[in-house]
Amino acid sequence: MGSAGIDLIPLLLCAGAVIALEAAAQWINADPLMVTAAIRLIDICLVLGIIYIFHRRISIIGLSLKTAASGIWHGVLWAGGFGGLVLVVSGILYVFGISPLSLIQIQVPENAGRLILFIIIGGVIGPVAEEFVFRGLFYSFLRRWGLLAALIGSTALFVLAHQPAAGIPVPQIVGGVVFALSYEVSKSLITPMIIHVSGNLSLFMLGLIDQLF
């Protein structure tokens, strides 16, 4: 990731629009899942529109046809490697008598229709929108002050946005670091998107298994 990232004005406009939409969503009397889907899709469109208006290109946030193929390939590799690491850590926890499922605590809908919507929105649309905001916007902006500043800053914002419960938000911290590093290495926003989506889908699957058994 180069030192030149998005400018302050488009960053503030995007961040302000996203925050305003999230606040407005609290007052919309409709299906929460559908509201979330609509807000996240609007977030993506706003970010793309504002970035293009100010910079005349979206490659500045790591979206380009030239890097798409390598971004997908890196995403698959990172997701596989991260998944393997999680399995190893889970095995170690089991050895010490700790169930990894007890650390996840994800509630998924029992109704089949709602479950499908939940997976699509929370497992795909949500993660993609978050990568636009936290890596595409904040990481890109902070990167001009170095890798460490961008890594810590974007991860801290990512953790705060997820409003973790009491205790150390390990999943959010680890996720934020992995997503940022994968973005740095691949130079493609598609890479952290794939990792984030696969991670969320895996967590939902584990949550479903935990509820069933």
Q: What is the mean pLDDT of residues 112-125?
A: 93
Q: CA-CA distance, 3 to 159, in Å (whole number)?
A: 24
The predicted model scores a pTM of 0.92
Distance, CA of 136 to CA of 138 (rounded, Å): 6
User: Which of 22, 21, 1, 12 lies closest to 54 in space, CA to CA?
Assistant: 12
Q: 193: how many CB neighbours lie within 10 A of its CB?
A: 27
Please report the pLDDT score of residue 103 as a whole number.
66
pLDDT value, residue 2:
47
| 165 band by pLDDT with thresholds 50, 70 and 90 | low
Q: Band of the pLDDT at 166, cuts 50, 70, 90?
A: low
| Tally of CB atoms within 10 A around 159 | 19
pLDDT of residue 208: 79
- Does residue 110 carry a pLDDT above 90? no
155 has pLDDT over 50: yes
